[in-house]
Amino acid sequence: MSKINDFRRLHSGDEPFLLGNVWDAKSAQLAEKAGYKAVGISGHAIAENLGYRDGEDMSFNELLFVVDRIIKSVSIPVSVDIDGGYGRSIGKVNEHIGQLVKMGAAGINIEDSVVKDEKRILVETGKFAKIIDGIRMFLSGQKSKLFVNVRIDTYVTKQPDPLEETLKRVRLFEEAGADGIFVPLLSNDKEITKVVQSTKLPFNVYLQPETPSFSKLKQIGVKRISSGAALHAQSYAKAYELYSLLIHEKRFGKLFQ
């Protein structure tokens, strides 16, 4: 419980805290060594590591194996990306969340979209609000304060008026019991400001090339900053560069620099 409480406190500081996005035990240990106060497991990165596409292609048990190793490898709080919950019923989603609580997770990310026929689509607002409400009731029964960060995919799915749809969903998901809000691909400072001002929940910004500066995000009132699978992608881009250098140029020095 102490790690959950520590994780919750990180969302109430005077400036945004940076969540170290990780994908295995070693990356989590490196993030802790670098000074991060908490890490978030990227479901996208784990899926790619295991040869799957993002969007619940891998089994929940495969995700659990990696989660368990990460939690046991660091002393800081760990939040887990569970996509849409790896189930379409409240009962199945709560079954999975219960397993994470027993493992010692401090929080989860759960998103209001699912991948169907290789296309990401939004779950109907009221239906997803019921899932959040069901999670809150389940956690209350478990006497768990697991941090439930809700990812809203209005920009990812390219809604006609993503800001308006985001504001509507933020309101309903807050009422349903969400602890935090996360809107990937939202990077305009004025739109971020409108979302932050529309809710009492801590807002998580997902880093993009055009994301406002740290000082600007602090001024707006953002409480958490994450990078998704970006660091994972950079690490593998570097690995590919070295593989190519070795096989095509037969030069070895770069491998040890």
- Position of tokens 């295991």? 50
3-class secondary-structure state, position 170: helix
Instruction: Report pLDDT for 254.
Output: 83
- Exposed, middle or buried, 129 (CB in 10 Å: 0-12/13-18/19+)? buried
Res 1 pLDDT > 80: no
Confidence check: pLDDT of 257 > 90: no
98 vs 96: CA distance, rounded Å: 5
Residue 213 three-state SS: coil
Computed over every residue of the chain, the mean pLDDT equals: 96
Domains and their CATH numbers in the chain: 2-229 (3.20.20.60)
116-131, pLDDT tens digit by residue?
Answer: 888 999 999 999 999 9
With 70 as the cut, is the pLDDT of residue 155 above it?
A: yes
> If you average pLDDT over residues 166-178, what whole number do you get?
98
What φ, ψ does residue 124 adopt, rounded to 5°? -55, 135
